[in-house]
Structure 1
Amino acid sequence: MTWTLPEPMLATPVPDPALLQGWASEPKRGGFRALFFMDAGRVVRRSRLGTDMVRAFPEIVAGSGQLPDATALDGVM
């Protein structure tokens, strides 16, 4: 089975910031929005535009060995 990195979820502006029951949100603070993927010792970290960010954040690569295979994270650094 081939697994590919999903497309990032982009924020959508809304006229009313009230959330529906069962929904959650997080504020976008300064930083980089990126996807992180770990599988069989291979680390992929890409910006939402597709830029490879592994070299920019060596501490992420160093700590990735603690994650199980087929882990995907989407967040802000």
Structure 2
Amino acid sequence: MWTLPEPMLAAPVAGPDLPPGGAVEPKWDGFRALVSVDAGRVLLRSRRGTEMGPAFPEIMAGVGQLPDATALDGVM
């Protein structure tokens, strides 16, 4: 069975310079979540592993339309 990858966590840096091709994303207030679609099963969890699907049925419904073997990591 395919499993959701571990989330990438932020790390402090000495300066704001980015390497060529690098990108940053601000952290807005919200929930950090990981979502996966595997064989029609949708999983939405926090970075600590808490199941978040029941609290966000509209996201669960939308994610169900993504292709199989999809994994997303972001803030909602």
Report the TM-score, using the length of structure 1 for normalisation. Answer: 0.91
Written as runs of structure 1 = structure 2, the 5 A alignment for 1:1-77 is 2-77=1-76
Cα shift at 1:35: 0.5
Structure 1: gaps (5+ residues): none
Structure 2: gaps (5+ residues): none
| 1:5-26 deviation line (CA, Å, top 9, x unaligned) | 1100000111211111011110
Which amino acid in 2 is paired with 1:69?
D
Report the TM-score, using the length of structure 2 for normalisation. Answer: 0.93
Structure 1: distance between partners of 2:3 and 2:38: 10
Which amino acid in 1 is paired with 2:13?
V
What percentage of aligned pairs have identical amino acids?
A: 71
Structure 2: distance between partners of 1:21 and 1:3: 33
Runs of 4+ in 1 over 3 A off after TM superposition: none
Which amino acid in 1 is paired with 2:7?
P
Which amino acid in 2 is paired with 1:42?
R
Superposed CA RMSD: 0.9
